[in-house]
Structure formats: structure tokens, C-alpha cells
């Protein structure tokens, strides 16, 4: 690769990310409309799981790559660090940028159920990680909890859909905010979601590959590239999807994507990585980094609870907090 192709990859990746996110959001809203379920449920499940795919792949690759290698720190540091970093980036970076562009409304159902579950899942990691190891049994428990959570979410959405009142109100809000939502066949909506997720994955890879090459040519160290470009790279699908959803005024898709991705990262990514290969971690990941993730999650929840939305000022605060996290990480990168 030369500089010309690196710039081309970067630009093509960004364009593909944006267009793929647009298709994904449109397909998700259309599917919710057709099935008569809440757009929030689609955001919390299908969209969130799809945009979390890069984190799953990266963490599995990290623990497998550690086999036979002598590493500074634990064999699962990269995998778990990816979970922490992505969770912080989703709320502070992605959530902050979305709110700075346009304030994001937060429903009472999100405040009462999804956000507490997100924080509860993160706190659940503490007893699992106390011995600085994730065994196959512990990983299996995390995956079982993840499966139970998905089943509970689907069952609750079906109960709500029986009366239709609550769901119809949310769908009416989505249609009103968007101005007009064209009804599409279910197969086309699903195809749009799948195509959008594939486009996000390819776009993220092109963007990261191009940015890494440009960063190296600019004299950035591998550590700085990893902590900035690569870390943000796995959150690009969430960033693109949530930004497009926020701009199109589909707040439930945007919030559902962010919160659902964090829950998936904590339970699915950690559980899958530990099931593939049990790993150990360094003390650092049980200290400052872990509690930064908890604090960011609680601050995000607190802002939403007090304001019933994420305002522009709150977005600036969240984004500033992410910048502070990057500075902290660079200062204590050993």
C-alpha cells in the first residue's frame, strides 16, 4: 500500500460506513414497522449485535493470538481491553458526538430497564475478574446470562405487542420524527439490515487500514495508533449507525444501538472469548480502567435520568471525558 491508496481506502471506507449505516437504519425501522415491534427492541438486539461483531472478532483473535506467545501482562488483556475501550467509546465518544449534533431523547423504558441492565452487566464482571482469570465455566455463565437476557427482551416485546398500544405509540413517534417511513416487505427490510451490517464491516476495515498507514507515515508510534485509530475502529459501526439514526431522528435506534452494544460487549464478547480460550488479565484491568468504564456508564445514566435526554451540553461533557480517557491511557500505557 502507498499513500495514495491509503487515502483512497480512508475516503472510500468513510463513505461506505455512512451509506451502509443509512441502509441499516432504514431497514431496521421498516422491519419494526412491519412486525409491529418497538424500534428500540430492534436497536437493542439485531442492530446492536451486528455492530458489535467487530468487537467479538477482535477479542477472539486476541486470545487465540496469545497462544504460545510471551506477553507483557495477561493473555486476555487485549480482549478485555477491547471490551472496556469499546464500552467507553460507545457512550462517551459516540453518544457525545451524536448529542452534540442533535439532542437525543431517552424513553422511560430505557431508563427503567435497559440502562440499569447495562450497568448491572458491567458490575457483574467484578466477581468474575477478581482472581484475574476468566475460566471456561465463568465464560459459559456470561453467555447463558446473555442468552437469557435476549430471550427475556423478545418475550417482553411480544407481551407488549399483544396490546399494541405501547408499540404503536413508539412507531407513531418514529414516523412523526422521520416525516415519512415507506413500508417495505419484510424480506427487503432484512436484506437491508444484512447488507448494511456487511457494508459497515467492510467500511470499518478500509477506514482503519488507511488510517493506520497514514498514521505510520506521519510518525505515530504503534502504541498511539493502537490506542486511538484501532480502538475507535471497532466502534466505527456503532458511531456511523448512531449518527445516522440521530440525524434521521430515530432516537430509539440510536440509544438501543449504544446500550445494546455495551451489554453485548460485556456479556457476549467476554463470554465468547473465554469460551474459545480461558484467559488471565493483568491487575491494571481490575483497577483504574475497569472503574473508568463503570463511572462513564453511571454518568451517562445519570445525565439521561435527570434530563430525559442527552443534551448538546451533556454531549460536550461526554466527548471531553473521552478525550481525557485517551490522555490518561497514553500517560499510563505501560
Q: What whole-number distance in Å separates Cα of residue 13 and Cα of residue 109?
A: 35
What is the pTM (predicted TM-score) of this model?
0.80
Q: What's the rounded Cα separation, in Å, for the pair 1 and 15?
A: 20
Show the domain range for 49.
3-331
State the CATH number of the domain containing residue 68. 1.20.1420.30
pLDDT tens digit sequence for 62-98: 677 655 444 445 677 777 887 888 899 999 999 999 9
Residues of the chain under the 50 pLDDT cut: 68-72, 167-168, 171, 175-180, 223, 227
Number of domains forming the structure of the chain: 1
- In angstroms, what CA-CA distances link 156 with 111, 113, 161, 287, 331? 16, 11, 9, 36, 45
Quick: pLDDT tens for 43-69. Answer: 888 788 777 777 777 677 667 765 544
pLDDT at 158: 67
Amino acid at each position: 500500500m502507498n499513500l495514495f491508496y491509503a487515502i483512497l481506502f480512508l475516503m472510500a471506507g468513510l463513505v461506505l460506513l455512512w451509506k451502509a449505516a443509512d441502509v441499516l437504519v432504514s431497514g431496521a425501522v421498516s422491519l419494526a414497522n412491519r412486525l409491529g415491534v418497538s424500534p428500540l427492541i430492534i436497536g437493542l438486539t439485531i442492530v446492536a449485535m451486528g455492530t458489535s461483531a467487530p468487537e467479538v472478532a477482535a477479542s477472539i483473535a486476541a486470545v487465540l493470538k496469545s497462544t504460545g506467545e510471551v506477553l507483557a501482562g495477561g493473555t486476555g488483556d487485549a480482549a478485555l481491553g477491547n471490551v472496556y475501550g469499546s464500552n467507553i467509546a460507545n457512550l462517551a465518544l459516540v453518544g457525545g458526538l451524536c448529542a452534540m449534533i442533535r439532542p437525543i431523547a431517552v424513553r422511560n423504558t430505557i431508563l427503567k430497564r435497559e440502562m440499569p441492565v447495562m450497568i448491572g452487566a458491567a458490575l457483574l464482571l467484578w466477581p468474575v475478574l477478581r482472581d484475574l482469570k476468566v475460566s471456561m465455566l465463568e465464560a459459559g455463565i456470561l453467555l447463558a446470562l446473555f442468552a437469557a437476557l435476549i430471550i427475556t427482551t423478545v418475550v417482553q416485546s411480544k407481551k407488549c405487542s399483544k396490546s399494541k398500544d405501547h408499540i404503536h405509540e413508539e412507531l407513531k413517534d418514529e414516523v412523526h420524527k422521520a416525516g415519512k417511513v415507506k413500508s417495505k416487505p419484510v424480506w427487503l427490510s432484512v436484506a437491508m439490515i444484512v447488507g448494511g451490517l456487511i457494508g459497515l464491516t467492510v467500511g470499518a476495515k478500509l477506514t482503519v487500514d488507511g488510517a493506520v498507514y497514514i498514521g505510520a507515515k506521519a510518525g505515530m508510534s504503534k502504541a498511539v495508533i493502537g490506542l486511538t485509530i484501532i480502538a475507535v475502529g471497532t466502534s466505527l459501526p456503532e458511531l456511523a449507525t448512531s449518527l445516522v439514526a440521530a440525524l434521521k431522528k430515530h432516537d430509539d435506534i440510536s440509544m438501543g444501538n449504544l446500550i445494546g452494544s455495551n451489554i453485548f460487549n460485556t456479556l457476549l464478547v467476554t463470554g465468547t472469548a473465554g469460551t474459545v480460550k480461558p484467559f488471565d488479565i493483568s491487575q491494571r484491568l481490575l483497577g483504574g480502567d475497569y472503574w473508568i468504564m463503570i463511572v462513564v456508564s453511571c454518568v451517562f445514566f445519570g445525565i439521561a435520568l435527570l434530563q430525559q435526554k442527552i443534551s448538546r451540553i451533556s454531549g460536550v461533557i461526554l466527548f471531553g471525558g473521552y478525550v481525557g480517557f485517551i490522555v490518561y491511557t497514553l500517560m499510563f500505557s505501560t
